[in-house]
Amino acid sequence: MLGATSSAAAVRAATASHSPFAIREVSPRPGQGRARRRAPRGVAPSRRGLSIIYVALFLVVLIGIVSLGVDVGRVRLARAEVQNAADAAAHSGARSLPVGQTAVEDAAVQAAADNAVIDQDDSTGHRINQGLEIFPEDDVEVGIWDPNARTFTALDDNGGTRTDERRAANAVHVIGRRIQARNNPIPLIFAPVVGVFHTDVTQQAIAYVHGGPDRFGFVGLDFVDSNGNTANIDSVLLPSLARRENGGVASNGDIDLRNGDVYGDVRPGVGKDLTQGPNSLITGWTADLDQPLSYTPDAFPNPLPPNNNGNITPSLSSGLLDKNGGFSLSGNTKVRFPANGVYTFKGWNQNGNRSDVTITAPATIYIDGNFDFSAGTMTIVASGDDQVRLFVNGDITQHGGTFLNQGLPKNLSISDTKPDTNVTVAGTPTIKAHVYARSATPSSTARQTSTAGSSGSRSSSRARATCTTTRRGMIRTPSALRW
């Protein structure tokens, strides 16, 4: 027995000495079951299958990241370009508001088309880079922008009136769209790998206009109120009498035209109202003024300056002065006022049917009293920027006679400098002048080219009218008033 045991031990020892590994038996601990065989030290297990899976997963994640980066950047670029196109369209449309609704829409469409947006597929499947296409009926609207409340209120054409209510707009709202519903979404580059081929982009812009045309045929600083079914205000370019649609009415207060027509702009004051009757027509812009009108009134000098009355021919001593020192002309006398003179009187009364006064510009006449022109002719010889200026410190009345201005309206300026006075033009005289009334009650039954205003207003006008204008802007007219 001992010999057998020793032999077995020797065999185990020999085996151990020739083996590169030391092998030993290990009994399992209680409750662990059978012992596991460990891999020999220095030999790694095979993991080739796991590496392929890891690489595939990494490629998917990498493609996703690339797709996210490229396509997100593409979408951000598209949004910026659509926004730029919408901004340009809104600004161009707003600049055209004083012209008309069609001009607004045309300008907005063209401006959007001029701004390229990231490419899309054309009808042949090729990529193109073109401007933004907008449709006025869906993408362009006009309205009122309140800069204080920062709100936009859209306006629509009533259709039941003679005036397009959209002409009261001061702002344009544009929506730029690149959407699938219009077959022009933004195409994506890598996202189709995961089934996303395009995305929609919609951007909006609002632009509102400041200022605008500021030449008006009639200005009543406090209000304008028209009473008559056939009152018309327009403009002409002399010597032609053809109607032009750039006449205008403005006020710092409310404007009520009733059934009167204005071929031009009508601009009520800031936050004020424009009222029209069912038969009233306005062809121009009707947005509120964005700042009050302001005019510097002319002042009558006190005392009167030195004069050149001695240069008048014939001499004033020949019966051309009344007892108060006023200019008085009757009969068929012809009187000449030379250029570059200052002339002063205590009044003016010209009533001779064949009387004629010729004044050569530049010249200034101060009348400290009433101006009454009822017969004869007053000829103004002027050209370029030379002016004949009449300053009247009293009532102005023309119920006959003719102003023959050989220049333009700007070459004859008539200024009523005294508050609470009357300016009356009656009968069928013709006036081609700028007329200024500080705070007067103008009345007209005349055909005239003039400037009329009240409460410190000034404006350029031409009128063919039968009208009565009460203080600070009231117009009563049974016939056509053309400024």
344 pLDDT higher than 50: yes
Between residues 331 and 115, the one the model is more confident about = 115
Give the model's pLDDT for residue 387. 95
pLDDT for the residue numbered 391: 96
Q: First vs last Cα of the chain: how many Å apart?
A: 146
The predicted-structure confidence for 375-400, as pLDDT tens digits, reads as follows 999 999 998 999 999 999 999 888 88
> What is the share, in percent, of the chain residues with pLDDT greater than 70?
75
Q: Is the pLDDT of residue 288 over 80?
A: yes
Mean pLDDT of 69-79: 88
Strand segments (E) across 55-189: 120-121, 127-128, 140-146, 151-154, 171-178, 186-187
Q: What is the pLDDT of residue 331?
A: 83
- Over residues 344-356, the mean pLDDT reads 93
The rounded distance, in Å, linking the Cα atoms of 384 and 110 is 40
Counting Cα atoms < 13 Å in the Cβ hemisphere of 10 gives 6
Work out the average pLDDT over 147-167. 89
Q: Span 410-417, mean pLDDT?
A: 89
Tell whether the model's pLDDT for residue 156 goes beyond 90: yes
No. of H helices and E strands in the chain?
4, 38
pLDDT at 437 over 60: yes
Between strands 467-470 and 440-444, the pairing is antiparallel
Please, which pLDDT band fits residue 473 given cuts at 50, 70 and 90? very low
Mean pLDDT, rounded, for 106-113: 96
The confidence score (pLDDT) of residue 155 equals 95
pLDDT at 246 over 80: no
13, 51, 52, 147, 338 from 48: Cα distances, Å: 39, 5, 7, 69, 115
Domain segments of the chain: what residues?
A: 53-208, 218-476
Average pLDDT, the chain: 78
Distance between CA atoms of residues 83 and 177, nearest Å: 9
| 343 pLDDT more than 50 | yes
- In order, the DSSP letters of 448-465 are EEE-EEESS----EEEE-
pLDDT tens, 165-205?
999 999 999 999 999 999 889 988 877 877 888 899 999 99
pTM over cut 0.85: no
Q: What is the model's pLDDT at position 170? A: 92
